[in-house]
Amino acid sequence: QLQLQGSGPGLVKPSETLSLTCSVSGGSISSNYYWDWIRQPPGKGLEWIGSISYSGATYYNPSLKSRVTISIDTSTNRISLRLNSVTAADTAVYFCARRWLYYGLWGQGTLVTVSS
Amino acid sequence: DIQMTQSPSSLSASVGDRVTITCRASQDIAGSLAWYQQKPGKAPKVLLYASSNLESGVPSRFSGSGSGTHNTLAISSLQPEDSATYYCQQYYTTPFTFGQGTKLEIK
């Protein structure tokens, strides 16, 4: 059964770069799906960060586009997120999710706190 | 961006009740709407997609309806485990957007 497991530092300093990885296990990254990152600030709603296809085509939220990079490594079944120049407003739980139209499979979420 | 507005923001109901949550889009999303349930500390779980299609394994007491800009999630015969926050999401166009959430409390 396919599972998504997010990982990465739980604490990032302001102005630095947030880096997270989503590992796909129990199967391989399929060309039939997109792989997205979504975040949720504590006590708040969900915000779509961006998406990547199996072939590497990316789509970003315009509100974050200048700071975000999503990449995919099909040889290791991993999707990565980098968010530059973080501030306290980037403190959130970051989810990776598999999308075929809608999100049918989610990772467990990784809490990232931006603080000095 | 397409704005998704849910109402109410919160509601309280008893076991066995029927409740409805409304989601309005700022433009026609042609039925490209999903509903999610999120419990504290957990990732969201899809309930319905394409406005009214029940995801496999989801109890039939959950149903969805609507088209255009107006969609509704109904939960009939509420169960204690339905206590959660519910989100709608449009996947009609990027940036994909979510409603602000509706917190459902079971009395």
Read off the pLDDT of residues A40-56 as tens digits, 9 standing for 90 and up: 999 999 999 999 999 99
The pLDDT value recorded for residue A51 is 98
Which residues of chain A are under the pLDDT cut of 50? none
Q: What is the DSSP letter of A101?
A: S
Contact A26, A98 (CB under 8 A): no
Q: What percent of chain B has pLDDT over 90?
A: 98
Q: Which residues in chain A are contacts of B95 at CB distance < 8 A? A: 48, 61-63
Instruction: Name the residue among B91, B94, B100 with its Cβ closest to that of A45.
Output: B100
* Cβ separation A102–B101 shorter than 8 A: no
Q: Which residues in chain A are contacts of B50 at CB distance < 8 A? A: 101
10 Å Cβ neighbour count for B53?
14
